[in-house]
Amino acid sequence: MLLRFVPRVLLCVLALLVGCSSTGSASGRTDGMATVRASQLPAEARETLALIDKGGPFPYARDGVVFGNFEGLLPRQQRGYYHEFTVRTPGSRDRGARRIVTGRGGEIYYTDDHYDSFRAVLR
């Protein structure tokens, strides 16, 4: 009886280890999402990250507003959990399509297509 029990315990331990492994994001919450290293982001996105780290000042009035996640592409959280910041787009006459979205848990996401897709930023 004990010999039949040991493989099950090992399988459970293995499942726990795989389920708890981090993917390298700020909080390990990429949930199978595409990722990008911060160093591989466009220069303007790295500038926005530096401003976020410093707490501003931000060039756009809407920087730091609550991001609603209406598209449902980010992990579901309560309203107010996510905030968005504009990534300057050279040549664009408006804010452009690029954004960084941050979560209260330290998550950082990047979109260059105005919320049609996201990549978790690895730092």
Query: Would you name the residues annotated as active-site residues?
Result: 84, 114
How far is the CA of 118 from the CAs of 15, 74, 97, 99, in angstroms?
Answer: 27, 8, 12, 9
Q: What are the residue ranges of helices labelled H in 21-67?
A: 43-54
How far is the CA of 3 from the CAs of 10, 14, 17, 118, 122, in angstroms?
Answer: 11, 17, 22, 47, 43
Question: How far from the centroid of its chain's Cα atoms is residue 121's Cα?
Answer: 5
Residue 114 has what DSSP assignment? T
- Which tokens hold the place of 46? 């790295």
Backbone angles phi, psi at 99, to 5 degrees: -145, 155
